[in-house]
Structure 1
């Protein structure tokens, strides 16, 4: 002990540490005192998992450690990693958690051979096959570049039977309905069920609500009576797609090309505003054509994002599972094809505007069963990680007016109730919450609103959501758009435009427009003064 007393402080610590290690029989103790030690521990755990793979491969088995996807057998014989030849499974990757993905490149026509993609950009985009491990089913599931299920090459199925999509069940043709893919997009997301057959000869019947597109871009009568501050609107138009034998040959339409260029010249950031659900419901060919059209137009210089779904589940779909499958498939395809673009979806949940008025909630759930708050939550789980989630706002005012809206024992407006409900359900964990506002546009031919009414609307639909609820983006429908025989506008609506400019919220506000046949956008230069982003219907 006297010798220890004569040592320096650092020497004492080293001596005591050695003593502790000797007492533990030479077992190294990993301290979690520093981040570096924790990281080293993580690497050690990873090495244990890798060791499991090596041992399993040596025994000729495909048994993974708990929760890990099995890796296909190795190829090559030393000398560093080698690119596998066609029809050979890829080399063993590092250990990956359940839900991980890997990509292959089709090396022969029809997907008869796959090679693992080793470097980004080494495979043509239309040849990429994405496979994802589904821990629930214990197998890999694979889709092609447009999200259609595909079967693995015979060599994969022979090398690891039961672990790859094999057989005719995973193939499809233009007249088959889109079937569910056994993929869990993220932890906790609901499983997607297969859908009943869809007769491609019978187009789906859509009954859009206010703010929901009608097939072919023709607004349908709204089930909600319109008022002066809640127009029945058609915020987006499904792409007009004619099925062709070569969907990859889609060029950007001249009107969209011109509209995007004009928006950029006005200092605005253009988005494409489409709804792919109609093409999805028509079958594989229409869906693939629509995807290729979007990809081609998103590649135009300056396009920053794509909003690809409008008021999901309100119309068109016959079941909630069908709507979720559309979202899961489309989000995965566009995220793969457009990795540098922002993606957005729009949802509507009428019951949220009811607050805690149970009679109102029951009425909304009965009238709109596929867009209850619970179903919308499941839709958002299907697109977890989407860049922006638009919640339709300013609708159903006539129905809300029949009830006393309360929340937490206090009387609130439908807008306040909606945003309180959005945050209470944690929708912000799936993506950035934004507002798709429908009540500000002025109907053509109607008397201009007075300043007091406009100030109240702006406070309710813009100021409070931004300042009190943290909404960072509000998109206004819309300038020179029509619903039925009624036109709507923002710029020439009396004092409304000046009140919007006075908000000094250009970075927060955006606008929806529909370009003319030649791509012209009415009042574009003036719109650029009040809005940073512009959503171009296509």
Structure 2
């Protein structure tokens, strides 16, 4: 896509506004009477600047000016005349854009990737093309998202296969046979244990996500994968379900060995689920170990070597491709995973927050944090810190909390800090419980009712 001069100037202006091209401005922030940097967090990077367009005192003056004498000045005000021409008015002359506006800038009626003199994608009947990140046929039906691996387009706009998707004969477009479930299939799914848990959760007012794992089914082949997607789609088709998290520990466990394989799975799963459960949000759970290293180069080098599939640019490619609406980052490594470099949990969490804000991943997808360490004997202060810190630092829009954790001896630790969680009631909508109805404490209905006292959302584990 071309970068026009207009966009280049706009980008430069934006960077100048936040201070990225003028780092020296940070040194003078305290002397600037219009600086509002004191409102930013102590860990805010120096290149981020804040300036009042109108100080609180000036804003008050403006409000008093327009509100005086029963809003007299506001009632007398007239719209600003502007600089627009009514082309339909007699005597007006509005020249047409040169060459029909095919140059490809913001004001052009044609997309920027249309070749001069050629036909832009999706404007020729029957031609396959790209629509919103999805491959579409001439009938306008979506046929699956791009994998984000840079596969070249053919002359018809199709993408080539991605390294045979790491499995012989299976393309990144698999799952095309999956269709939305029928009314009978949806009704049958509602009678399953998972369906009954969805009903119970919704009755309590909890916002419901399905938490499932499709990676093993995808690895098992098209038949197993399509069956799993169809099963999940029938359960997710109900209006009570807001979204589907279709993979956990993506790239961290040993399911996949190459980035191409992970990318092909994400593309196939998101494409199939968008057909089987249209309108539902899709999410994945993973971790980005390098984020917590901060500026410690030895830490970053070691993490990149140890977790090659979890490099920031790899994870970001799944978000940029449009197949994922929500990404959840696990906080397990933050506690003790960086002691070799004298990075404690608090510093690791702060480093991760800075990286997330700097990369603006929240623009590409909703970012959530996941806490597995609040089960068992945990202090009220620790509960508050682990839940509130990611939200306060702008590193996450919600925090997911495990309600039960299996230990190494076959036992289980359970969530017990109910009083501490109740004190966080202002954050209730941003707090989600990860709950498996197959291992209830009492029974799913009673458990979910209790969870609804402190959580606003629930991730129901389903097979």
Structures share fold, TM-score greater than 0.5: yes
Count of matched residue pairs: 347
For 1:50-61, list aligned pairs within 5 A: none
Contact 1:276 1:290 in 2 (8 A): yes
Q: In structure 2, what is the equivalent of residue 458 of structure 1? A: 384
Of 514, 527, 530, 2:436 maps to 514
Distance 2:305 2:208 in 1: 38
Deviation at 1:296, TM superposition (A): 0.6
For 1:234-313, list aligned pairs within 5 A: 251-252=188-189, 254-313=192-251
Q: Is the counterpart of residue 434 in structure 1 residue 451 in structure 2?
A: no
Deviations 1:86-123 (A, max 9, x none): xxx48xx9x9889675456xxxxxxxxxxx36xxxxxx
Q: In structure 2, what is the equivalent of residue 527 of structure 1? A: 451
Q: Give 3-state SS (helix, strand or coil) of 2:252's partner.
A: coil
Of 267, 272, 276, 1:333 maps to 272
Distance 2:372 2:267 in 1: 27
Contact 2:134 2:145 in 1 (8 A): yes
Contact 2:208 2:457 in 1 (8 A): yes
Contact 1:132 1:140 in 2 (8 A): no
Deviation at 1:510, TM superposition (A): 0.7
Q: In structure 2, what is the equivalent of residue 358 of structure 1? A: 297
Distance 2:404 2:106 in 1: 59
Distance 2:301 2:423 in 1: 40
Contact 1:356 1:405 in 2 (8 A): no
Q: Is the counterpart of residue 137 in structure 1 residue 154 in structure 2?
A: yes
Contact 2:144 2:268 in 1 (8 A): no
Deviation at 1:523, TM superposition (A): 2.5
Deviation at 1:292, TM superposition (A): 0.4
Distance 1:65 1:327, change over 3 A: farther
Larger radius of gyration between Structure 1 and Structure 2: 1
Contact 1:274 1:309 in 2 (8 A): yes
Q: In structure 2, what is the equivalent of residue 194 of structure 1? A: 164
Gaps of 5+ in 2: 1-80, 171-180
Deviation at 1:295, TM superposition (A): 0.5
The CA RMSD over aligned residues, in Å, is 4.1
Deviations 1:428-462 (A, max 9, x none): 221111112222122xxxxx34x4xx403521x22
Deviation at 1:375, TM superposition (A): 1.9
Q: TM-score, normalised by structure 1?
A: 0.56
Q: TM-score, normalised by structure 2?
A: 0.64
Contact 2:354 2:395 in 1 (8 A): no
Contact 2:352 2:395 in 1 (8 A): no
Q: Give 3-state SS (helix, strand or coil) of 1:536's partner.
A: strand
Distance 1:430 1:42, change over 3 A: closer
Distance 1:412 1:515, change over 3 A: closer
